[in-house]
């Protein structure tokens, strides 16, 4: 059994574009899609910016109009990214050419793993008018509940909607799992997918991460925690003051080497290794020494069987909050010493996508390697004192090899790291 896990398809959507090439081109050109919030009147909100998808139209994302009644905005994004990755990899076309026995086996050996943001505050909005009318009378609230709240409410708020509807739409019946672990959810979807393929549990799989956290109450809570910037995200910059939320989704098709070669798939890259740890110190705490992230990177290097000198570039978490940036810089210093590879981050371009951030960063990392160009951090002017040792720049840099390290972080001190290699045959300069 081959232990190699190959990437054969990709999809992505966020404020910067609706496919990986468009998003990567925007980052390379230094274009930010962060803008004033359009989903509601945010004039009285303390934070007024977000990375929203312009001209959001559900019908252009998911053709099945009946499905729109059963899923949320975030689910539409995840289903769209997954569909693009599946189409690009040619999975359905290959399966449809098989005989019935081969088709059944293909479906049974196709896995789906999804990183989801879980429930959102907007999931409760159906109850607000009735709560107001009931004026604190829970008896009145209960009597009118079934006639007021959408009967599809429960189905719409399920965190595994993308997971189940991918299976239903494509008839994929292999292993599946839904990860709801804040900012590392999408990254963990990739890690779980690779583990299933390496263990021989599946031959090919869809990995997805999606989130749509741009919502009034969510913005207020993040602001109250002091996590949001007033103007833009400035990763590792002396003027960094916080993050800005965005919405989006990313998807990858991963296959065993034997499965990919058997169907003549175009190989975009290779999953090399991963690591995931927790600092176990609190919901919002971040260790200043970067211990958790450094351990995750060390695990990934060990899993991949490579040394630090072989890493050609780093896509950092880079969320623009001073504490996280400094901690991340400490972790990279601990791992790479005085010879770090080029470091970039993409959140300045489209916002922090939370559960989708790690997987869309992975998609963009592979695109960077294929173009042999590490996009600069356009909002970077002067590195913060704690980040001076990083090889980060506002200008593009060449990667020093064909291997990328992608970092992801979330609440409760969760840290994850991925290592990937781009396929030489997939280059598109």
Strands 5-14 and 313-315: unpaired
Residues of the chain with CATH 3.40.47.10: 5-119+157-422
Distance, CA of 205 to CA of 255 (rounded, Å): 6
Going by CATH, does the domain composed of 5-119+157-422 fall within 3.40.47.10?
Answer: yes
| Mean pLDDT, rounded, for 10-16 | 98
- Give CA separation, 324 vs 287, 293, 398, in Å: 8, 10, 26
Tokens 């769209």 locate to 80
> What are 22-56's pLDDT values in tens digits?
999 999 999 999 999 999 999 888 999 999 999 89
Q: Which of 5-14, 83-92, 124-133 has the lowest mean pLDDT?
A: 124-133
> What are 241-268's pLDDT values in tens digits?
999 999 999 999 999 999 999 999 999 9
pLDDT of 73: 93
> Is 59 buried (19+), middle (13-18) or exposed (0-12) by CB count in 10 A?
exposed
pLDDT of 363: 98
Distance, CA of 9 to CA of 89 (rounded, Å): 4
Q: Which two tokens stand for residue 46?
A: 């303390």
- The backbone torsions φ and ψ at residue 404, rounded to the nearest 5 degrees and listed phi first, read -120, 140
Local confidence band at 425 (pLDDT 50, 70, 90 cut-offs): low
> Is 38 buried (19+), middle (13-18) or exposed (0-12) by CB count in 10 A?
middle
Which of the 8 DSSP states describes residue 251?
E
Distance, CA of 83 to CA of 73 (rounded, Å): 16
Integer Rg of the chain from CA: 21
| Mean pLDDT, rounded, for 127-152 | 87
Whose CA is closest to 248, among 361, 146, 135? 361
Q: Which of 115-124, 278-287, 310-319, 395-404 has the lowest mean pLDDT?
A: 115-124
Helix, strand, coil proportions of the chain in percent (round to 5)?
45, 20, 35
Q: Which residues contact 130 (CB under 8 A, 6 or more apart)?
A: 141, 144, 145, 148, 149
> What are 278-323's pLDDT values in tens digits?
998 988 889 999 999 999 999 999 999 999 999 999 999 999 999 9
Pinpoint the alpha helices (H) of 112-271. 128-134, 138-148, 153-156, 161-170, 185-198, 216-224, 257-262
């Amino acid at each position: 059994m081959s232990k190699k896990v190959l990437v054969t398809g990709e999809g992505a959507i966020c404020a910067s574009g609706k496919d990986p090439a468009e998003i990567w081109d925007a980052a390379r050109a230094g274009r930010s899609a962060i803008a004033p919030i359009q989903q509601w009147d945010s004039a009285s909100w303390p934070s007024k910016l977000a990375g929203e998808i312009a001209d959001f139209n559900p019908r252009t994302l998911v053709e099945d109009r009946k499905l729109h009644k059963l899923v949320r905005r975030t689910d539409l994004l995840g289903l769209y990214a997954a569909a693009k990755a599946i189409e690009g990899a040619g999975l359905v076309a290959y399966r449809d050419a098989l005989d019935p026995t081969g088709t059944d086996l293909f479906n049974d050996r196709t896995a789906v793993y999804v990183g989801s943001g879980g429930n959102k505050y907007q999931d409760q909005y159906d109850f607000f008018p009735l709560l107001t009318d009931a004026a604190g009378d829970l008896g009145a609230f209960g009597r009118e509940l079934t006639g007021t709240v959408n009967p599809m409410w429960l189905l719409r708020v399920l965190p595994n909607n993308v997971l189940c509807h991918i299976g239903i739409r494509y008839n994929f019946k292999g292993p599946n799992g839904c990860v709801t672990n804040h900012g590392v959810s999408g990254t963990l979807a990739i890690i779980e997918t690779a583990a299933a393929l390496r263990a021989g549990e599946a031959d090919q799989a869809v990995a997805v991460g999606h989130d749509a956290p741009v919502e009034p109450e969510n913005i207020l809570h993040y602001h109250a925690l002091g996590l949001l910037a007033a103007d833009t995200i400035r990763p590792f910059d002396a003027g960094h003051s916080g993050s800005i939320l965005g919405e989006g989704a990313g998807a990858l098709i991963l296959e065993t080497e034997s499965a990919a070669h058997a169907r003549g798939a175009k190989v975009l890259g290779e999953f090399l290794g991963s690591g995931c740890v927790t600092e176990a110190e609190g919901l919002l705490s971040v260790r200043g020494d970067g211990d958790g992230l450094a351990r995750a990177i060390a695990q990934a290097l060990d899993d991949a069987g490579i040394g630090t000198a072989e890493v050609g570039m780093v896509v950092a978490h880079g969320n623009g909050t001073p504490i996280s940036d400094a901690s991340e810089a400490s972790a990279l210093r601990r791992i790479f010493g005085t010879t770090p590879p080029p470091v970039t981050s993409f959140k300045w371009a489209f916002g922090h996508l939370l559960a989708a951030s790690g997987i869309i960063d992975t998609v963009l990392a592979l695109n960077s390697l294929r173009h042999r160009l590490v996009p600069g951090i356009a909002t970077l002017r002067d590195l913060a004192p704690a980040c001076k040792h990083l090889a980060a720049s506002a200008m593009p840099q060449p990667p020093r090899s064909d291997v990328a390290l992608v970092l992801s972080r979330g609440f409760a001190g969760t840290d994850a790291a991925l290592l990937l290699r781009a396929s030489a045959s997939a280059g598109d300069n």
